Amino acid sequence: MHIVAYNSDLYNNVSEAKREGKGLAIIAVFIEIGKTQHKSFYFIGEQLRWVKEKGKSRRVDFFSFSKLLPNTNEYITYEGSLTQPGCFETVTWIVLNKPLKISRKQLSQLRVLYHNHANEPGLPLSINARPLMPLNHRLLRTNINTHKRSKLCTMEKEMFYQGKV
């Protein structure tokens, strides 16, 4: 799951910010399927039926996105690109180290969303992979204590990734 924010100190809207440096911050949260429904995600799932297609909106009052975040202060961050075509290199990614646990039913609510407007043929949002992008010598930063062993985080103190694109 991605929670997207734009730099309102520098830009007027997301469309402008996504094309410029230091434009966007995205919090990435992995989702894990569990046996019970997540209470706050349940509320979001109920709203999705109103916004299945591109261009639809639904006003939601009195909801805090922080309720969708797992209980962790640990993360990995890096400067990267959008995952949508255009793939602008304008995003500060913040990847949390613990997943959000939702039920299988809640996952199925996400799978009814579409990339297209209501009167156009289109692909489900679940088909949203993009081409691989160059690594561009990205530097990963973290506040995760790699000296403390945990079953939740398997990072080693020194770990290097080398990729080919």
Q: Which of 11, 75, 78, 114 is catalytic?
A: 11
For residue 160, give the amino acid letter. Answer: F
- DSSP string covering 43-71: HHHHHGGG--STT------S--GGGGS-S
Residue indicated by tokens 């109103």: 50
**161 carries an active-site annotation:** no
On the CB side of 107, CA atoms within 13 Å amount to 13
DSSP assignment letter at 40: H
Whole-number Å distance between alpha carbons of 54 and 115? 6
Residues annotated as part of the active site: 11
